Each structure stands twice: as structure tokens, then as C-alpha cells.
Amino acid sequence: MNIRNFFRHPVVSVLIASLMILELILVMNPPNALVFKLGVDNAVRVMLFYLFLGFFFMLVGQNKLLFLSFTCCAVLCSFLKNRTDGIPEQTSLVENSSPTFSMAHFSAANINEGHQEALAMILETDPDLVSVQELSPIWASWLEEKLEGRYPYSFELPDVDIFGLALYSKIPFEKIDTFHYRNIPILKGTIRVDKNHLVELLSIQTYPALSQLDYERIKEHLELAVEETKDDKLPMLVFGQFQLVPWSNEILKFREELQLQDSRKGLLSAYPSGSLSLLNIPFDHIFHTKDIQCLYFATINSEETKQLGIIGTYQLK
């Protein structure tokens, strides 16, 4: 039996079609279980798989499966587009208008080697605010020494586990503190952008979803963050490692409850060079309230590490 006849067999065709539809349903409407999170996280890759599968069925002359593959690809593309903020009209900085500031977020765990190169990238991007998570005491001591001259304001809370964090700023802190979810710190602070404008900051790092219990705790973690900030009236940036993709139900619920917009426009981050990071699953985010406009957002990468962090430029409306 040749390959064309194999895929034309009624049992094979029905089985493949059923699996394709089932996968589509599980990505778009996953049950509340960790095992299905992998499909959601890789939704963009699943969409591309449907696309290439359609071309494969074209080559083997299986028109019904070809049509189904392209239909699944289109449905998933539309689903993801509707769950991520659309690409905005091109924005530009207007002189003498509302204040602007930039922020970069990094995870120390992304920098396995090449510390000097990582520091060079931080200094090259020259953000007004630098957030670092998964900060060990060694990393904290090293960064404090290297960034002290350029960033006069800092808050550091290193940890021998993975929940250390720090915030380095050129902008003065009005106040800064932490509250905790199961001994995991959540940084909450306020910066004074100028004499008339304050911006609230919220740094969140959830535990990796290694078990169903961890997955449930991520949702509890975000619920606590919502409870602590839902009545705040200041413009706000929320940033960190969420261990969730932007189109997940949990992130959409979190954003809806705090009325947040995503700095990442479209499905994937772009590098400053303009290329897309197709293979990276976006777990790190910078969200902002509607009274802040994101002028620029990109992924920061280096030769040693595919992704060091993310950076955005913001203007108060």
C-alpha cells in the first residue's frame, strides 16, 4: 500500500480528522488540568503544524484532510488573534507632552553565562527601570556594584531559592514594599515620574507549574495580586515571570479584573532587529493600565542567550 492509498483509507482519514479536531478543541478550551497546559503554551506551534500538515496532505492528494488542516489553522489563528492585543497604529513620542519612561525586565536564570555581556545589554538598552527576578545573593551583589552609578534608587530582595527580586531605577521611589503569597514576595511600589505624575509598579513571579498543585497555586497567586491592587487608582505597570502565555484563560482573567493591556502586540515578541522569536514561549510580560500607552516593546537577546528579557517604552496619557 503506497502513502496516498494509506491516507485515503476511511478508517485512517476519520482517525486523523478526529485527532486534529480534538487537539483544536483542547487548545482553545482546555480542561482545568496541568496536562493540557502544554498544548495551550504551544498554541502558535500547533497552528503552524496545521499549516504544514495541510501542505503535506496536498502532496499526497488527500483533499478532505487538506481542507480540514487549513481550516483548523485558520480557526486557531483567529482564536489567538482575538486573545492578544492587536497591532496598534504606529505611535511616536510627542514633545512637551505627557512624561515617558522605559522599563526592562530580566530573569537572572536566563543568563547562564556571559555575565559581562548581559550587563552590556542592560546598559545598552538604558531603561529608566530595570526589574530582575530569580535573583540570588551573588547576582544581587554583582548587579548592585555594576549598576549603582547609573541607577541611584534600588530595592533588592535576593533569595537562595528562585524568588529573589530587585528593582533598579533612575526615577525616585515614592514608596516601595512587598506582600507575600506562600512566602513568595510580590513587589508593590510607586515611582514619581515627574512632580505631577505617579506610576504604580507590581512585580510578580509565580512558581513554575511542575504539578497540578503548582498550577492551582499560580491562579491563587494572581487572585491575591488582584485583591491587593484592584481598588488602586494610579496608572500601573505589572511585570514579571507569570509562567503563563498571554492567550491563556488565567492571564485573560487577570488582565480583565485589573483592566490591563498587554505591551506585547500580536502573538510573539519581536527582537530589536525586527525578527520574530518563533521558538520562544512568552511567559514574561509587562502589562499596563489604559492610562499608559506603550510606544515600543521588544525582546532583548544576546549571542550567549537567546532571550535575556523584555523592554518597553511608555507614555502617560
Domain ranges of the chain: 3-83, 100-316
Q: Which helix (H) or strand (E) holds 130?
A: strand 129-133
- Are 277 and 307 within 8 A, CB to CB? yes
> What does the pLDDT read at residue 82?
87
Decide: residue 277, CB within 10 A, 0-12 exposed, 13-18 middle, 19+ buried. middle
Q: Which residue has the cell 523584555?
A: 310
How far is it, in rounded angstroms, from Cα 189 to Cα 193? 13
How far is it, in rounded angstroms, from Cα 171 to Cα 43? 38
110-144 as b/e: b if 16+ CB within 10 A: bbeeeeeebeebbeebebbbbbbbbbbeebbeebe
Q: Which CATH code is given to the segment(s) 100-316?
A: 3.60.10.10
What the block records as the C-alpha cell of 14 is 476519520
Amino acid at 238: V
What the block records as the C-alpha cell of 73 is 489553522
DSSP 277-306: -TT----EEEEEETTEEEEEEEEE--SS-S
Amino acid at 292: I
- Are 135 and 165 within 8 A, CB to CB? yes
- Are 164 and 135 within 8 A, CB to CB? yes
What the block records as the C-alpha cell of 262 is 498587554
The Cβ-side half-sphere exposure at 294, using a 13 Å CA radius, reads 26
pLDDT along the chain (317 residues), means of 10: 76 92 94 89 93 93 93 94 64 64 88 66 86 89 84 92 92 95 95 93 93 94 95 95 93 95 73 50 92 92 71 93
Check residue 134 and give left, alpha or beta (phi > 0: left; psi -120 to 50: alpha): left
Torsion sign (Cα): 112, 152, 96, 233: positive
Measured in residues, the chain has a length of 317
What the block records as the C-alpha cell of 188 is 508593590
> What is the DSSP secondary structure assignment for residue 87, as one 8-state letter?
P
How far is it, in rounded angstroms, from Cα 78 to Cα 316? 31
- At 246, is the secondary structure helix, strand, or coil? coil
What the block records as the C-alpha cell of 245 is 502565555
Amino acid at 108: A
How far is it, in rounded angstroms, from Cα 82 to Cα 66? 24
- Are 4 and 56 within 8 A, CB to CB? no
In this prediction the pTM is 0.87
